Amino acid sequence: MPYSEARNPRYVNFMAYLLWSFPLTYILLLGTFYNLPGAQIVKFFFSAYYIAHSIFAIATGFALYRMRLYAWHLFCFHSFLLIAEQFVVAYGYAENHIREIPLAFMCGSVLLMLLFMKIELRVPYFSPKIAWWESDPRYKISVPVEMACPDHFYKGSIMDISSSGCFIKTKDPLKVDQTILVKFSLFDHKFEVEGRVVWRTESGVTHPKGVGVRFVDLNRAQGHELRDTVKKLKNLSRSYSKARAEEKATTMERKVKELLTDRKV
For residue 1, pLDDT over 50 is answered with no
Judge contact between 204 and 120, C-beta under 8 A: yes
- Percentage of the chain modeled with pLDDT above 70: 81
Enter the pTM of the model. Answer: 0.56
pLDDT tens for 217-245 read 888 888 888 888 888 887 877 776 677 76
For residue 82, pLDDT over 90 is answered with yes
Predicted pLDDT of residue 260 = 66
H/E stretch holding 40: helix 38-45
Predicted pLDDT of residue 238 = 74
Judge contact between 163 and 30, C-beta under 8 A: no
pLDDT band at 4 (very low <50, low <70, confident <90, very high): very low
Q: What are the strands, taking DSSP E only, across 73-230?
A: 139-149, 152-161, 165-169, 179-186, 189-201, 210-216
- In angstroms, the CA 94 to CA 103 distance is 10
Backbone angles phi and psi of 189, in degrees to 5: -105, 130
Residues 6+ apart with CB under 8 A from 209: 169, 170, 171, 201, 202, 203
Predicted pLDDT of residue 54 = 94
- In angstroms, the CA 11 to CA 16 distance is 9
Predicted pLDDT of residue 135 = 57
Q: Of residues 107 and 152, which shows the higher confidence score?
A: 107
Three-state DSSP class for 142? strand
Residues 6+ apart with CB under 8 A from 136: 162, 163, 164, 165
Q: What is the mean pLDDT of the chain?
A: 81
Predicted pLDDT of residue 163 = 82
Average pLDDT over residues 209-220: 85
In angstroms, the Cα distances linking 18 to 42, 60, 102, 121, 171 are 21, 11, 20, 17, 35
Q: Of residues 20 and 35, which shows the higher confidence score?
A: 20
- In angstroms, the CA 213 to CA 67 distance is 20
pLDDT tens for 183-198 read 998 887 888 999 988 8
208 cis-preceded (ω within 30 degrees of 0): no
pLDDT tens for 47-67 read 999 999 999 999 999 988 887
pLDDT band at 2 (very low <50, low <70, confident <90, very high): very low
Predicted pLDDT of residue 130 = 56
What structural domains and CATH numbers belong to the chain?
Answer: 10-122 (no CATH), 131-265 (2.40.10.220)
- Residue of 100, 118, 138, 155 whose CA lies nearest to 214: 138
